[in-house]
Amino acid sequence: MSWTAVCSLADIPPNAGVAALLNGKQVAIFNVAGEVFAVDNHDPFSGANVLSRGIVGSIDNDLVVASPIYKQHFALATGRCIEDESQSINAYSVRLEGDTVMLGLADQAAA
């Protein structure tokens, strides 16, 4: 896994998200309750890159983001869709180096 600097933690408002473009793919990064999460920004139900603009909250013990289009909820830690477990989005490893948000990306292996 390689780590990529994405933004400063100060760039992400508390309990909200921002979008970043990494390797041609949009990623939604959230700052929730002192933790940072990253998932695909692409909503599989609407086909739009909008999850970074969704509302964050919790369902049972999962921190989630609600899509602003059709309101499906995705677990921030795993990408699992709460309403339809046949759908999910990618969840990425995140770490902080000081104030810098670092995203873990799988290394491209030769097939």
CATH number of the domain at 27, please.
2.102.10.10
Instruction: Report the mean per-residue pLDDT for the chain.
Output: 94
SS3 label, residue 65: strand
The answer as to whether 60 is a domain residue is yes
The answer as to whether 2 is a domain residue is no
The answer as to whether 110 is a domain residue is no
Which domain range does residue 66 map to? 13-92
Looking at the structure of the chain, the number of domains it has is: 1
- Give the residue carrying structure tokens 């309990």: 15
The answer as to whether 104 is a domain residue is no
The answer as to whether 97 is a domain residue is no
In this structure, the strands spanning 62-66 and 73-75 are: antiparallel
At 27, is the pLDDT very low, low, confident or very high (cuts 50, 70, 90)? very high
| Encoded amino acid at 15, one letter | N
- Looking at residue 110, its pLDDT comes to 40
Tell me: pLDDT of 111 over 60.
no
The answer as to whether 49 is a domain residue is yes
